[in-house]
Copies of this chain bind each other. A is one copy, B any other.
Amino acid sequence: MAGRTFLYAQSGGVTPVINATAAALIRTARASGDRVLAARNGILGVLEEHLVDTASLTDADLDALGHTPGGVFGSCRYKLKGLEENRREYERLIEVFRAHKVDCFFYNGGNDSADTALKVSGLGEIMDYPIQCIGVPKTIDNDLAVTDNCPGFGSVAKYVAVSILEASLDVMSMSSTSTKVFILEVMGRHAGWIAAAGGLAARAPGDPPQIILFPEIPFDEERFCAAVRQSVERHGYCSVVVSEGLRNADGEFVAAAASRDAFGHHQLGGVAPAVANVVKRELGYKYHWAVSDYLQRSARHIASATDVEQAEAVGQAAVTLAHSGHSGVMPVIRRISDAPYEWEIATAELDQIANHEKKMPREYISEDGFAITEAARRYLAPLIHGESFPPFGADGLPEYLRPELTELDPLLPEFRV
């Protein structure tokens, strides 16, 4: 069936490669003669009927979109409540689909978005409007169930591994008379996948980072200080990667301040200075710390080629799933082998993914809790393989796309969330 109308939206925290997924999805659909609308700011744009027609993007725009970080259509943190509590929003979704003749909705996001996509996929039957819904995976947190890894994670992993390698060469140079301890804070609320990626920089015994602080391992000041001291005595310096989700033995976040976002998640930041204070107080070493925050998840300039390839593959596969009539599913990555690294796209049911969280296996963390194991390295290494530099302009900056997106005229009365 050709000439279909698809609606695509981006959800949750964006990644360096979510636009690569969008570009691949649009290009694949376009090649089949399908129309692709996109919602501004995720599901909110559907509810409020802020839609754009991606036909305005030229083929050159799609090429540029494929190497542009952020979420070009805007994303949102907004979780639909259950149908019973919130029939109004579900009815509105159907109205918008019906008004714009949308027959398949693609929701590109993580756990919470998979939950939204699952709910939407159940609407057709309940509300008597034939709508397919397909989740498309994306999250730097790498915590989606079923899929071997998540598009977005590989690039963040590469950024973290490269950054701690580079900063460690710096502190190594300075340690005789100045900074002896460097601490890099990385994202990862509940799982240490991103922090673990820092361990890829440690290719030989004694290599930096000498210490990784995982959210899975309660922070023990005394053991940490002993490890820092040992590294400084052996190597002259100590390089530390710490996850924003680091907790103490009581389960409290080590980061000084915590507030909550719209999903009820803690919004963290500032565990690096907290850990630096421990170093200062207990050991007296001169330290430096960095918090990479959004830089790590927008650094398209140092994206993993493997990640870009997979981000594009899930976008293409989503269209294929739509064409073959699937709903309530998500294209996922299945690993065939570690070395040589081989993978393929498989199909997973959304109810196996929505609201599940893939934890990092304990066997990926060394016995002392400060490093990754060989099993973790086998898993992680292929995900940062290859470079995918964006083109740079004469002004020395990457040529990222910032298209003018004109919204379609609304066909329905205004609706406020």
Which residues of A pack against B, CB within 8 Å?
10, 13-14, 16, 40-42, 44, 68-72, 74-78, 158, 161-163, 165-167, 169-178, 182, 184, 200-201, 203, 261-262, 267, 269-270, 272-273, 286, 288-295, 297-302, 304, 381, 384-387, 389, 392, 394-398, 400, 402
Q: In the A-B complex, list the 5 residue pairs whose CB atoms are closest, starting with the nearest.
A: A70-B169, A384-B396, A71-B173, A290-B293, A166-B298
Which residues of chain B are within 8 angstroms of A272 by Cβ–Cβ distance? 291
Which residues of chain B are within 8 angstroms of A71 by Cβ–Cβ distance? 173-174
A269 to B386, CA, bound (A): 34
Q: How far is the CB of A383 from chain B (nearest CB, A)?
A: 8
Q: Contacts A44-B177, A174-B14, A178-B76 given: A397-B161 contact, CB under 8 Å?
A: yes
Q: Which residue of B lies closest to A169 (CB)?
A: B70
Q: Which residue of B lies closest to A304 (CB)?
A: B396
A167 to B400, CA, bound (A): 12
Can you name 11 A-B residue pairings with CB atoms under 8 Å? A44-B176, A72-B173, A76-B178, A77-B174, A166-B295, A167-B298, A169-B298, A184-B295, A290-B290, A292-B292, A385-B396
Interchain CB contact under 8 A, A289 and B293: yes
Interchain CB contact under 8 A, B289 and A174: no
Interchain CB contact under 8 A, A173 and B203: no
Interchain CB contact under 8 A, B288 and A173: no
Q: Contacts A173-B74, A289-B293, A298-B169 given: A396-B386 contact, CB under 8 Å?
A: yes
A172 to B68, CA, bound (A): 13
A383 to B389, CA, bound (A): 20
Interchain CB contact under 8 A, B262 and A177: yes
Which residues of chain B are within 8 angstroms of A170 by Cβ–Cβ distance? 14, 69-70, 294, 297-298
Which residues of chain B are within 8 angstroms of A175 by Cβ–Cβ distance? 74
Q: Which residue of B lies closest to A204 (CB)?
A: B402
Interchain CB contact under 8 A, A400 and B298: no
Which residues of chain B are within 8 angstroms of A163 by Cβ–Cβ distance? 295, 299
Interchain CB contact under 8 A, B173 and A14: yes
A53 to B308, CA, bound (A): 44
Interchain CB contact under 8 A, A269 and B288: yes
Name 20 extra pairs, CB < 8 A, besides A75-B176, A162-B398: A14-B173, A40-B176, A42-B177, A70-B173, A71-B173, A76-B178, A77-B174, A162-B397, A166-B299, A166-B300, A166-B301, A169-B400, A169-B402, A177-B262, A261-B286, A270-B273, A288-B294, A290-B291, A292-B295, A385-B396
Which residues of chain B are within 8 angstroms of A161 by Cβ–Cβ distance? 396-397
**A182 contact from B184, B289, B294, Cβ within 8 A:** B294
**A75 contact from B165, B173, B297, Cβ within 8 A:** B173
Interchain CB contact under 8 A, B286 and A290: no
Interchain CB contact under 8 A, A76 and B176: yes
Q: Which residue of B lies closest to A75 (CB)?
A: B173
A302 to B72, CA, bound (A): 24
Which residues of chain B are within 8 angstroms of A174 by Cβ–Cβ distance? 13-14, 71, 75-77
A4 to B75, CA, bound (A): 63
Q: How far is the CB of A81 from chain B (nearest CB, A)?
A: 15
Interchain CB contact under 8 A, B200 and A69: no
Which residues of chain B are within 8 angstroms of A301 by Cβ–Cβ distance? 162, 166, 302
Q: Contacts A44-B177, A74-B176, A177-B78 given: A291-B294 contact, CB under 8 Å?
A: no
Which residues of chain B are within 8 angstroms of A292 by Cβ–Cβ distance? 290, 292, 295
Q: How far is the CB of A75 from chain B (nearest CB, A)?
A: 5
Q: How far is the CB of A206 from chain B (nearest CB, A)?
A: 11
Which residues of chain B are within 8 angstroms of A162 by Cβ–Cβ distance? 301, 397-398
Q: Which residue of B lies closest to A386 (CB)?
A: B396
Which residues of chain B are within 8 angstroms of A394 by Cβ–Cβ distance? 385
Which residues of chain B are within 8 angstroms of A74 by Cβ–Cβ distance? 172-173, 175-176
A162 to B389, CA, bound (A): 13
**A177 contact from B10, B77, B171, B203, Cβ within 8 A:** B77
